[in-house]
């Protein structure tokens, strides 16, 4: 009996994909790079536990599309991280997957050649190579968990994970987060609803069992112990910001009511800056001022930043791409990034060591 007329009727192919073990064998994690990941995760946990007085800042391109420009940015960020390390802990934003509202480029893993050829196997391998080079530089990486099997390929190189506004309500992503080895920041929903993210943090802190893959690429029942380092990321919603003092206090109350630590990260981009990249410094300045005035729940910030300001459409002739300019959300440029981070470090240098959390 055949099921050809009822099964997979909209599937055109099942192309083979190397298993996680196959890709990890070709691109293993060196011992010193593993130490970078291990140590950076520990620092982030200490910040969330209130044992490290610093704030962490996840800063970098909206998405990685050119690894050469990405590493150029990373080298600059590494030097800046060393400069402000007593006050701010910098994590490079390394997003390879982009959720789309309708259609569009889905990111470096899905379409590394940016021509709708969708060489996902090559994209995964190239993404791992980029993360390895970042770890070799001594720079921690933060990314968004979107595809449920990608962590098996890349998870050993990630120090901080975000669950986006479109997926925070997803049971699949809450289950994945419960098993991730990194702290996980859950963004409020696109509507601005903080309750969605609070529920996600609670869910991810519990054990789960769900379908996934193992290192050999075989379907497996994944059983997790729960992740107690979930925290809230305020990114605004429904066209309005929520980084102001009142919004932060409302978020604190929601976390307290759920029995969760008051750990809040402010995303300086997206609805918090009305999607105007040039307003990100204003958001960051407000957050810094809240900390200076005594806020104890704000533990970090996110900045969308690149070498060049703004963004660009993907041209048919890829040679026309502007070097270091985002192809997704608009970003602040490198000089602005330096100014934002140095200013924050200077204003917080004397304040953070005495902050009780």
Provide mean pLDDT across the span 187-213.
Answer: 97
pLDDT at 355: 87
- Name the band, by pLDDT with cuts 50, 70 and 90, for residue 278: very high
CB distance 127 to 97 below 8 Å? no
Q: Is residue 16 part of a domain?
A: no
Q: Is residue 52 part of a domain?
A: yes
Provide mean pLDDT across the span 43-47.
Answer: 98
Per DSSP bridges, beta strands 184-187 and 209-213 are unpaired
Q: Is residue 5 part of a domain?
A: no
**What is d(CA 48, CA 212) in angstroms, rounded to the nearest whole number?**
29
Number of domains in the chain: 1
Residues 55-78 have pLDDT tens digits of: 999 999 999 999 999 999 999 999
* Cβ neighbour number for residue 238 with a 10 Å cutoff: 11
Average predicted confidence (pLDDT) for the chain: 96
Q: Is residue 4 part of a domain?
A: no
Cβ contacts of 313 within 8 Å, gap of 6 or more? 327
pLDDT at 99: 77
Is residue 1 predicted with pLDDT exceeding 60?
no
**What is d(CA 29, CA 198) in angstroms, rounded to the nearest whole number?**
34
Is residue 96 predicted with pLDDT exceeding 60?
yes
pLDDT at 242: 98
Q: Give the domain range for residue 184.
A: 22-352
Residues in the chain: 357
pLDDT at 207: 98
Q: Is residue 184 part of a domain?
A: yes
- Name the band, by pLDDT with cuts 50, 70 and 90, for residue 102: low
CATH no. for residue 320?
A: 3.20.20.70
Q: Is residue 9 part of a domain?
A: no
- Dihedral of CA atoms 111, 114, 188, 330 in degrees, nearest 10, equals 160
Nearest CA to 98 out of 85, 112, 78, 88 is that of 112
Q: Is residue 162 part of a domain?
A: yes
**What is d(CA 66, CA 64) in angstroms, rounded to the nearest whole number?**
6
Please work out, in degrees rounded to the nearest 5, the angle formed at the alpha carbon of residue 58 by the alpha carbons of 57 and 62: 145
pTM of the model: 0.97
Q: Is residue 224 part of a domain?
A: yes
């Amino acid at each position: 009996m055949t099921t050809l007329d009822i099964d997979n009727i909209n599937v055109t192919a099942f192309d083979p994909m190397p298993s996680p073990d196959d890709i990890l064998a070709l691109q293993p994690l060196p011992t010193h790079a593993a130490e970078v990941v291990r140590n950076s995760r520990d620092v982030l946990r200490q910040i969330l536990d209130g044992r490290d007085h610093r704030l962490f800042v996840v800063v970098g391109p909206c998405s990685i599309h050119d690894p050469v420009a990405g590493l150029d940015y990373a080298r600059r960020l590494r030097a800046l991280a060393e400069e402000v390390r007593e006050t701010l802990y910098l994590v490079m934003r390394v997003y390879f997957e982009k959720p789309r509202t309708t259609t569009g480029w889905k990111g470096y893993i899905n379409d590394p050649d940016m021509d709708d050829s969708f060489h996902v196997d090559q994209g995964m391998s190239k993404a791992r190579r980029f993360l390895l080079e970042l770890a070799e530089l001594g720079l921690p990486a933060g990314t968004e968990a979107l595809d449920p099997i990608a962590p098996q390929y890349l998870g050993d190189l990630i120090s901080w994970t975000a669950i986006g506004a479109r997926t925070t309500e997803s049971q699949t992503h809450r289950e994945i987060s419960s098993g991730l080895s990194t702290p996980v920041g859950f963004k409020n929903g696109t509507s601005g609803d903080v309750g969605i993210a609070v529920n996600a943090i609670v869910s991810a802190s519990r054990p789960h069992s769900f379908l996934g893959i193992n290192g050999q690429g075989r379907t497996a029942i994944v059983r997790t112990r729960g992740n107690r380092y979930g925290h809230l990321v305020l990114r605004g919603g429904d066209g309005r910001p929520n980084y102001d003092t009142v919004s932060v206090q409302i978020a604190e109350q929601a976390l307290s009511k759920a029995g969760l630590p008051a750990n809040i990260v402010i995303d300086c981009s997206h609805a918090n800056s009305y999607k105007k990249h040039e307003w990100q410094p204003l958001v960051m300045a407000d957050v810094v001022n809240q900390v200076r005035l005594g806020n104890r729940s704000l533990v970090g910030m996110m900045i969308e930043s690149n070498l060049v300001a703004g963004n660009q459409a993907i041209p048919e002739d890829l040679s026309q791409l502007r070097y270091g300019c985002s192809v997704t959300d608009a970003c602040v440029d490198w000089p602005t990034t330096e100014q934002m981070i140095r200013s924050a470090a200077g204003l917080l240098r004397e304040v953070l060591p005495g902050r009780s959390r």
